[in-house]
Amino acid sequence: MPHTTITSTELEAQVLAAFAARGQAPTPAARMAAAAIVEAERVGMPEFGLSLALGGLESADMRWGETVPQDDRGAAIVLDAEGRFAPIVFAEAALIAAARAEAAGIGIVAVTGPGSLGRIAPYARAIASAGLVGLIAVGSPPLVAPHGGNAAALGTNPVATGIPTSTTPIVVDASSSLLTKGRWGELRARGEQVPDGVAIDAAGAVTRDAELVRAFLSRGGAFGSAMGIVVEMIVNGLTGSLGSSRERRSASVVALRSLEIDAPLTAVGDDLRARLEAAGGHVPGSNTPDAAGPVSVSTATLQRLAKIANTAG
> Would you give per-residue pLDDT tens digits along the chain (313 residues)?
789 999 999 999 999 999 999 999 999 999 999 999 999 999 888 889 999 999 999 999 999 988 888 999 888 999 999 999 999 999 999 999 999 999 999 999 999 988 888 899 999 999 999 999 999 999 888 899 998 888 888 889 999 999 999 999 999 998 889 888 888 988 998 899 999 999 999 999 999 999 999 999 999 888 889 998 998 888 888 887 777 665 667 899 999 998 777 778 888 889 888 988 887 878 887 766 656 678 999 999 999 999 999 885 5
Q: What CA–CA distance (Å, rounded) separates 54 from 77?
A: 29
Q: Please tell me the predicted confidence (pLDDT) of residue 66.
A: 87
Q: Please tell me the predicted confidence (pLDDT) of residue 86.
A: 94
Q: Report whether 45 contacts 116 (CB < 8 A).
A: no
- Cα distances from 301 to residues 13, 172, 189, 309, in angstroms, run 15, 29, 15, 13
Q: What CA–CA distance (Å, rounded) separates 40 from 229?
A: 27
Q: What CA–CA distance (Å, rounded) separates 120 from 139?
A: 12
Q: Report whether 255 contacts 97 (CB < 8 A).
A: yes
Q: Please tell me the predicted confidence (pLDDT) of residue 246.
A: 58
First to last CA, the chain: 32
Q: Please, what CATH class does the domain formed by 178-217 belong to? A: alpha beta
Assess if CATH 3.40.50.20 describes domain 3-177+218-309. Answer: no
Q: Is 181 helix (H, G, I), strand (E, B) or coil?
A: helix
What is the chain's alpha carbon radius of gyration, rounded to the nearest angstrom? 19
Q: Within 10 A of 26 (CB to CB), how many other CB atoms are there?
A: 13
User: Looking at the chain, which residues constitute the CATH 3.30.60.50 domain(s)?
Assistant: 178-217
Q: What CA–CA distance (Å, rounded) separates 46 from 38?
A: 9
**Residue 89 burial by CB count (10 A; 0-12/13-18/19+): exposed, middle or buried?**
buried
User: Looking at the chain, which residues constitute the CATH 3.30.1370.60 domain(s)?
Assistant: 3-177+218-309
Amino acid code (one letter) for 171: V
Q: How many residues does the chain have?
A: 313
Q: Report whether 152 contacts 246 (CB < 8 A).
A: no
